[in-house]
Each structure stands twice: as structure tokens, then as C-alpha cells.
Structure 1
Amino acid sequence: MEQVNLYVGAQIRRYRKNRQMTLQQLADRIHKSRASVSKYETGEVSLDIVTLTEIARVLEVQPGQLVDLPVQEEEGARLPSANSGISPFFQARRLYFYFYDGRYKRLKDGIIDIRETKEAGSYEADLSVSAVNPSGRSSKLYYTGKVIYSDMLIRFSFVNRYNPLEEDLLYIFNPLELRDSTDGLLCGISSADLMPCAFKCLVTLHPQEHTEEFKKRLLITRRELQQWQKLNMLMVDNIG
């Protein structure tokens, strides 16, 4: 139970900070004391379902986004050591996904859940991405697809569950060393303007806070733009 409390508390804190909301502001919105909310976030106090639902409403997320604790791996399936020769991103069955959408000037995040199929060595994945509509309300987009692993790259091919015409490809580097994040590229057809698009993204082993410093890591740098222009790879109009 302690692990659940710590995880839920960390999720509340992450979403609160993403909305630039103080502890006192959240406490006022749910009619609790600042001290109580602080204890929720540190995991000292277990949340009842009514309070959890109210916090989710104020933070404009689904209650499930606060309690989606990763399933514990079976004994022997933990992340490899630095000397194992197996990438931690190959081993992981849950990854966290981030990109900055310059069209709406918002950092977006998602969760990738990976599972092995009945066919040995074959993998499938589900992707849920947080989205914000023009009114500022939060919603989720759901995709499902397949995963292909190689020594250098991991390739995800996703299809929108509710719109099979919307497909996305996600490529991430597959580093052997033990580190928490790796670079990637998300590409597909934008449903907003029906144009090809590509986003620089980060995929991590653990949830990240939406800080300004973290957002900078998601922006395309001028050096990257110069390299791509030499190869006539992309046209970019949103540069960090």
C-alpha cells in the first residue's frame, strides 16, 4: 500500500505542477487543508475514492491517470545491469512518452504499455496520449500497434483505435547503457490540418515533470535544423 500511496502522490504533484497550480490552490479547490494535500503528495495519507475523484476533476485528468501504477515485473524480469548487454528500453514493459506540439505550444505526454504476444519474440503495444482541446479540457487519445526491436532502434507502428486511417510511427534509439531517457521521432499525418508532421520526442523509463528545462530538451535546436537542411530532410518553423 505504501508504494501505491507514493506513486499516486507523485502523480498528483506532477499534474498539479504541469498546471502551474500551488498546493494551496489545489487545497482550496477540493476544500481540504494545505497540510492534507501535502500529505497526499508525499504518500503519508491514503486517498479515499471521493477525494481522488475530486482531485482528478480539478487537475482535469481521468482518475485512472493518477493510479495507473505499472504492473510489477515477475522475478527474473527486472531491468538488466549495466554489464548484461541488454538495453533497459528492450526490457521495459512500460515507457513514458513526451513531445512538444508547437502548433498549440503545449508539452504532451503519454504512456506506452508493451506486451509479448503468444508468438515468441513478437510484441504489441498500446499508447495513450494526453491531449488538450481548445477549451482547455484534458482528454486521452488511444492507439494500438506493433513493436520491432533491433540493436540500434525500437520501432512502434500505431493506429488510432477509433480512426484506423490515423497511423503514427515512433522510432527511438535503443541504448545499451543504463540511462533513463532516449531520443525519438514521432511521425504521421496531422489530424488537425491533414499534413505530414514529425515531432522530436523523448521516451523515458520513469515519469518526468513538465519543467521548463525538460521542455527545452524537446525543442529542435538550430544545430539540428542546420544538419537536416543540408540533407533536405525536413522543413521546420518552430525552433527552440
Structure 2
Amino acid sequence: MQESFYKTLGQKLKASRKMKGITLAELAEAVHRSPASLSKYENGEVNIAIDALVEICTALNVDISELLPATYVDLKNADILKYEKHLIDRLYIYWYNGEEKRVKNAMIENSHPSMKSKIYFVTDAENSEYQSDFIYHGTVSYSDTSITFYYTNEAPPFDKVFIRMPLLFQKGRRQKGIMSCISLYYQGITLKILVSREPLTVTDEIRNELLMTPEEIKELKRTNMLIIK
């Protein structure tokens, strides 16, 4: 097994632990292991044994399958067969927060055998793609024109997120989409987003691309609909 596998696994464990508000010391006591050993697991410095992984996932109340790569494909699943060439394991999304005056981001991970999906909100890409403020669980579905995600936050504020984007045909191409969720003040909002198969460097060009264009504002006034072009 590659070293990167255990590093990624450790990052996911750390993100799940932090989201649960559990300290290393508390987890160590629950699984009867030292905080130092758990820290090495999380940093990918030591390969974690399957029995230790089961104990940790049980203590964190995390489904172990969410942390591991998919190992099968349901060949009877019509959607998987129909949209096989469009299936994407990982996506990066970006949006502009006008109140904070900065571009924010998230990372999506999909498991296509189960069509389950997770989104790591506001990731710290410089340190770890899995270090995030919130982790939402949900599903992904494909159609002839778009990819749709529906997520639920399993921790406060327990809100839901809906994301819709066009099918991504080319690897180097980014697409626009929409994300509906709630604001910091629990107001329903819809955001214009950029979607990419690979992480983007946030530049003025990216920022400007995320701003509402005069044409989009004009269409909003004309149709009373937010139409992202």
C-alpha cells in the first residue's frame, strides 16, 4: 500500500475527530492507545492496522467505508453504466463571499459504487485538503446535462446544501454552477460557484469570474431567476 494512502487516511481521521469535537487525549482513552500513537496515525507516520482503524471509527461513530477507497462497482447500476465516462471522484469548488471580500472553497469526494458523497467546506489547501470547518454527507447523481449533489450537515447547524453543475467533459476545463445553503444568519442563499477537477490558484481572474456579471443581474431582474451562464 502506498504511503500516500495512509497519509490521506490519517487526514480523514483527524478531520472527523475534530468535527466531533474530540481531543486526541479523549480518543486515546476511548480506544486504549496513547495520544502519541494516534497522532502518528493522523499524520501518516505509522501505518494503521485494520483492528485499530475499526476501534477508532467505532469511537468516533464514523462509517469506516467513508474513509477507504471503493473496492467494487455495481455493474447493474444503470446510472454508473450510462455516465461512466463522466464519473468524478474528486472536485474542487470556489465561490466569492462579498461580506468577507474573499474567495472561499470546498472539496468534494464521491464514492460511485454507492453514489455517496462528502464535502469538506472551507478547506485549508496549504496544509491539508481535509482540514475543514464543516463536513457534510450526502449523495451524487448524474443526468444527461448535469451533476447534482444533496448534502446534510450532521453537526450543528444541521443545514442542507444543494449543488448543481454541468457535466465536466474536459479535465482542464472549469465550469460554473450554483450552490444553495444557509448564511451565517440562517438565511436561505444561492451562490455562484466555479467547479474544477483540480485545485485552482485564486487569482484576480478567478475572483472576477465568480462575481455576478451585469448580464446575470439583468436576467435576474427580467426573469426573477438566478441564471448562471
What interval of TM-score do these two structures reach, taking the shorter chain for normalisation?
0.5 to 0.7
CA deviation profile, 1:84-116 (whole Å, cap 9, x unmatched): x9686x322011111111121121111100002
Q: Which residue of 1 aligns with 2:150?
A: 157
SS at match of 1:233: coil
- Which whole-Å CA distance do the structure 2 matches of 1:171 and 1:103 have between them? 23
Going from structure 1 to structure 2, the CA distance change for 1:115 and 1:87 (only over 3 Å counts) comes to: closer
Matched, 1:105 2:97: no
Gaps of 5+ in 1: 5-48, 53-70, 75-84, 133-137, 235-240
1:147 shift after superposition: 0.7
The answer to whether 1:123 aligns with 2:119 is: no
User: Distance between the aligned counterparts of 1:178 and 1:116, measured in 2?
Assistant: 18
Identity %: 26
| Contact in 2 for aligned 1:129/1:140 (Cα 8 Å) | yes
1:223 to 215, 219, 224: 215
Indicate whether 1:184 and 2:177 are aligned.
yes
Taking structure 1 as the reference length, the TM-score comes to 0.54
* 2:193 is the alignment partner of 1:201: yes
Match of 2:204 in 1: 212
Count of equivalent residues: 153
Moved more, 172-181 or 148-157: 172-181
In structure 1, what is the equivalent of residue 166 of structure 2?
A: 173
Aligned to 1:62: none
Asked whether the equivalents of residues 107 and 123 of structure 2 are also in contact (C-alpha less than 8 Å), the reply is no
Which residue identity is paired with 2:97? D
Change in Cα spacing, 1:179 to 1:152, as seen in structure 2 (3 Å) is farther
- CA 1:207 to 1:169, structure 2 compared with 1: closer, same or farther past 3 Å? same
SS class of match (1:206): coil
Distance 1:177 1:204, change over 3 A: closer
Q: CA deviation at 1:212?
A: 1.3
Deviates more, 1:158-167 or 1:197-206: 158-167
The amino acid across from 1:233 in the alignment is M
More strand by share: 1
Secondary structure of the residue that 1:227 maps to in structure 2?
helix
After superposition, the CA RMSD in angstroms is: 3.5
Q: Kindly tell me: are residues 185 and 106 of structure 1, through their superposed partners in 2, closer, same or farther at Cα, counting changes over 3 Å?
A: same
The answer as to whether partners of 1:86 and 1:176 remain within 8 angstroms in 2 is: no
Match of 2:46 in 1: none
1:94 to 70, 90, 104: 90
Tell me the SS of whatever aligns to 2:133. strand
TM-score (norm 2): 0.56
Tell me how far 1:151 sits from its aligned partner: 1.1
